[in-house]
Amino acid sequence: MVTAQDVERGTYRKSLGRRASHELRISALRLDNFSGLQVGDLHAPLA
């Protein structure tokens, strides 16, 4: 599985191409944001 760290290091950039790498990075960021929102929702009642 490709992780956001792999994309940032450019590990898959050469094989996928610039456009695919960019789209993969956007997807990874969206996934990170979604996870962050879920964690925030879980902690919100405790605040």
C-alpha span between 45 and 42 (Å, rounded): 7
* pLDDT recorded at residue 47: 45
* pLDDT recorded at residue 16: 56
Q: Is the pLDDT of residue 28 over 60?
A: yes
- What is the 3 state secondary structure string of the chain? CCCHHHHHHCCCHHHHCHHHHHHHHHHHHHHHHHHHHHHHHHHHHHC
Confidence of residue 5 (pLDDT cuts 50, 70, 90): confident
Domains of the chain, by residue range, sit at 4-46
- Predicted TM-score of the model (pTM): 0.26
Tokens of 2: 């490709």
Confidence of residue 23 (pLDDT cuts 50, 70, 90): confident
Tokens of 1: 């599985």
